[in-house]
Amino acid sequence: MKNVKLALLTIIVATFYLTSCTKDEVVNATDTNTVVASATIDAINELDFKTGTQVTFENSLSKSTKSTVNSLVGACATINVDNLTPNVFPKVITIDFGTGCTTNNITRKGKLKITLSGLVSTPKATMKIERENYYVNGLKVEGTIVYVNETVTPNIPQWSKTITNGKLTNLEGIVFLNAGTHTIKQTEGVGTPLVLSDNTYEMTQGNHTVSKENGPNLTLTVAESLVKKYDCNYVSKGKLTVKGTLLNGTIDYGNGDCDNKFTYTHENGLVFNLTM
C-alpha cells in the first residue's frame, strides 16, 4: 500500500513536541524513540513496496523499466530483470543503488531484490522484497517483506503483508528490531488497472512489534484503517493503538489531509505532535 515521495523519510530526525503536560506526566524517552523508529520503518517499507510495484507494473507492460522509474529510484540506479518476457514468471528484479543514489533528497545505497511469482494483482501471487547491504539516508535497513494476494472479492483486491527479521540501525548506531503482519485492501482505482495514480489502499487490520535491541517490545495495532493514496506522500487517515511497557496510547494520522502531521496521545491525555 502506499507511495512515498521520500520527503516522508525525514521522520528519521523527527522530534516530539510537547503540547500539554504536568510534572507527573512523564513519558520515557527511549520508548518515545521507539515510536519514531516504528514510523520510520513503516515509511521505508512503503517506499520499497512502491518501488517494487512500479518496477513490476512497467515490466508487465513491456516498457523500459529503468527509464520509467528514474523519478523514484534515481537515474544512477541499475535495474536488472532476469526474465524480460512480460507476464512470464517467476522473475527476479534487482535494483542496485551502488554506493549512493539520490532522488528527492533521499539517498539509497545497496540493493533491493524483488522476487515475483506472478503479477501482484493475481490471486495467490507473491512479491518478496529483500535488502542487501541496503541504506536509506544513512540508516541501515534489513529484513524481508512478503506480499501475498488474498483477494476474495474481485473488485476489492486484498493482500497480506508479513515482515520478518526486520532491523533498523539509526545514525547513532542504535538497533531497532521489527516484525508483523497486516491486511491491505485496494479501495479506489480498481477499475483503471493501467493507471496507478488513482489507487487508494487501506491497511485494515494487523499489528507489528518494534523494540530497541535487547529492550521491551512496543506493539502497534490497527485501530482504524490506515488510508494511503498512491499520489499522496503520507498516510492521511487512520489510527494505531500503541502498547508498551511505559507507552500506552494512540497514534492518529488525521482526517484525510495529505500532510506530514500526526499525533501520539498517551492514555493519561498527554499529547505529542509528530512531524514527518
**What is the tens place of the pLDDT at every residue in 172-227?**
999 999 999 999 999 999 888 888 888 899 999 999 999 988 888 899 999 999 99
Residue 70: closest CA among 91, 92, 97? 97
Sequence-distant (≥ 6) Cβ neighbours of residue 268 within 8 angstroms:
25
Higher pLDDT: 154 or 116? It is 116
**What is the tens place of the pLDDT at every residue in 218-250?**
999 999 999 988 877 678 899 999 998 888 999
With bands split at pLDDT 50, 70 and 90, how would you rate the model's confidence at 72?
low
Indicate whether 5 pLDDT > 70: no
Find the mean pLDDT for residues 65-80.
66
The DSSP annotation for 88-140 comes to: -S-EEEEEE-TT-EEETTEEEEEEEEEEESS-TTSTT-EEEEEEEEEEETTEE
Higher pLDDT: 13 or 209? It is 209
Least confident of 83-87, 114-118, 128-132: 83-87
Residue 235: closest CA among 256, 212, 204? 256
**Cα-Cα end-to-end distance for the chain:** 18
Higher pLDDT: 264 or 19? It is 264
Q: Residue ranges of the domains in the chain? A: 7-275
18-49 burial by CB neighbour count: b if 16+ within 10 A, else e?
eeeeeeeeebeeebbbbbbbbbbbbbbbbbbb
* Averaged confidence pLDDT in the chain: 81
**CA–CA separation, 141 vs 234, rounded Å?**
20
**CA–CA separation, 6 vs 227, rounded Å?**
18
Find the mean pLDDT for residues 59-78.
59
pLDDT value, residue 108: 94
| E strand intervals along the chain | 17-20, 78-81, 91-96, 101-103, 106-116, 126-136, 139-149, 158-169, 175-188, 200-212, 217-229, 237-243, 248-255, 261-266, 271-275
pLDDT value, residue 60: 60
pLDDT value, residue 62: 45
**CA–CA separation, 132 vs 142, rounded Å?**
8
pLDDT value, residue 74: 66
pLDDT value, residue 69: 52
pLDDT value, residue 67: 43
Higher pLDDT: 97 or 119? It is 97
Least confident of 20-29, 66-75, 98-107: 20-29
pLDDT value, residue 259: 82
**CA–CA separation, 27 vs 265, rounded Å?**
11
C-alpha dihedral, 209 to 210 to 214 to 215, nearest 10°: -90
With bands split at pLDDT 50, 70 and 90, how would you rate the model's confidence at 106?
confident
Indicate whether 76 pLDDT > 90: no
**What is the tens place of the pLDDT at every residue in 139-162?**
999 999 999 999 999 889 999 999
Find the mean pLDDT for residues 71-92.
82
For the chain, give the percent of residues with pLDDT over 70: 81
